[in-house]
Amino acid sequence: MTLGSAAPAPPDPASRKAVGPAVVIGSALEWFDFYLYASMAALVFGRLFFPTGDPTTATLGAMATFAVGFLARPFGGIVFGVLGDKFGRKVVLSVTFLLMGISSGLIGLLPTYESVGLFAPLLLVVLRLLQGLGAGAELGSAIAVAYEHADAKSRGRLGSLPALGVNIGLFASSLTVTVLTSFDEEFLYSWGWRIPFVASFALVALGFWVRRQMPETPEFEREASTRKKSQPLRSLIRSDWRGLAVVLAITVGYNGVSYVFKTFSLSYLTEFRDVAANVGSFGITLASACAIITVPIAGRLCDRVGAKTVVMVGAVATAALAFPFFWMLDSGQNLLIWAALVLATGIVVPAMLSAQGAFLSQQFPTRTRASGLGTGREVGGAFSGGLAPLAALALVSATPGHSTWAVSLMFVAGAAFIGVAAMFDQAKRLESRAEQQVAERT
């Protein structure tokens, strides 16, 4: 039985075929912009927008703008999640794509601190806030769309499609950064960094067209008659708060781990280990290429052994990598650095993200799914994904010898959040509630 629906109809195969490309391509283009900003904040923006004379302080300033985007994401997740539950997932995904793409394109046109002084970082923060609003609604809504077009035997596979798009976006952005950092610094810092941002203007046209072709989900359309008077956020807090708590806890752990692996590691290698910037960015490129393979495999595994099992195995693997990850980075050997990044961001992290599509969706009925996913993921992400890389950088900067032990303990704590939260899966409780509601109506 599909949660929240009294008499679910089987998904239309033709509709499902149209949804796959729309979810993957749209998510890939949107997250290309988001990860591009993360990489440029770690490598470029400190010097161009926060020149202080101290490279570490400048990088901290740039990473703070990265965190600002996460502070905006909860508002995007909540507002657009409610709109998605009331008016449809399709329209929300189209609007947020425009918001993200146009903001990213404008970042590429910004003047630097040298040209306009304090207005430069101020404008950067404003555009980063708009990016955050768009990104806040993206993944949760895309997960809801993919999950609601799936049948009971393919929820893991289809639920992993947004994660596939995320990792394709990461691959494209990291490959772009690798190419840009392979040129001399004068090219990168003068106008080279602007190229991929300005290209977003062209990409957004393609992505918007793809999203407009995507059909609305069958589950949402079945409940359309009850939407006008519905109050998704109120229902979420009153009836589905347990599922919201599960999503919040998993997101706190997952996002903290993920962004420290992917974002802080770049700054750590360049700032504290004197490793060339293109070494780390190439490692992320390799890892994201591996993730594109990992995600569909993990999605199919979810359909075999259960999404909860895949999430918990990922939590254990994260804890196991906590210390070896930095031992490999500290070796200074390119092959070991790349191996560390592939293990963490190419296998463990994307496998957990893939499983989240099905696992997090089953925490909510249809009527509050977009709100629940948007609110839970983005509020949790604001307290971890944006602040975790900044906290890691501050901890290493303040430690004699730039020790990473405290950051490794952050990984262990993140793994604990994920594993414990997964144990409180609400799927069976919601199934029982849906069956009781059907029985009462008959």
Handedness of CA 24, 25, 28, 34 (dihedral sign): negative
Q: Looking at the chain, how many residues does it have?
A: 442
pLDDT of residue 3: 45
In the chain, the largest separation of any two C-alpha atoms, in whole Å, equals: 73
DSSP 3-state assignment of 108? Answer: coil
Give, in order, the Cα–Cα distances in Å from 68 to each of 86, 157, 177, 180, 384: 28, 33, 22, 25, 12
Tell me the C-alpha distance between 382 and 256, whole Å: 10
Q: What is the mean pLDDT of each run of 10 residues along the chain (442 residues)?
A: 44 63 83 82 84 71 76 88 88 86 92 88 90 84 88 89 89 84 86 91 82 81 68 88 95 90 84 85 86 95 95 96 94 94 94 94 92 90 76 86 90 95 92 76 66
Contact at 8 Å (CB) between 160 and 295? Answer: yes
Contact at 8 Å (CB) between 378 and 140? Answer: yes
Handedness of CA 423, 135, 130, 132 (dihedral sign): positive
- Residue 146 burial by Cβ neighbours in a 10 Å radius (0-12, 13-18, 19+): buried
Tell me the C-alpha distance between 411 and 398, whole Å: 19
CATH number of 19-217+232-433, picked from 3.40.50.150, 2.60.200.20, 1.20.1250.20, 1.20.1600.10: 1.20.1250.20
What is the signed CA dihedral for 196, 201, 206, 210, rounded to 10 degrees? 100
Q: How far is CA 308 from the centre of its chain?
A: 19
Domain ranges of the chain: 19-217+232-433
Residue 326, CB-side half-sphere exposure with 13 Å CA sphere: 20
DSSP assignment string, 50-71: ---S-HHHHHHHHHHHHHHHHH
Handedness of CA 331, 332, 336, 340 (dihedral sign): positive
Tell me the C-alpha distance between 198 and 196, whole Å: 6
Handedness of CA 104, 109, 113, 116 (dihedral sign): negative
Helix axes of 349-361 and 369-382: crossing angle, nearest 10 degrees = 140
- pLDDT of 357-366, one tens digit each? 999 999 999 8
Tell me the C-alpha distance between 316 and 328, whole Å: 19
Tell me the C-alpha distance between 432 and 438, whole Å: 10
Query: Where in 33-176 does DSSP place strands (E)?
Result: none
Give, in order, the Cα–Cα distances in Å from 8 to each of 221, 260, 346, 409: 11, 41, 36, 45
Nearest Cα residue to 253 out of 170, 322, 326: 322
pLDDT of residue 1: 39
Tell me the C-alpha distance between 309 and 345, whole Å: 19
Tell me the C-alpha distance between 37 and 323, whole Å: 27
Q: What is the DSSP letter of 151?
A: -
Residue 63, CB-side half-sphere exposure with 13 Å CA sphere: 26
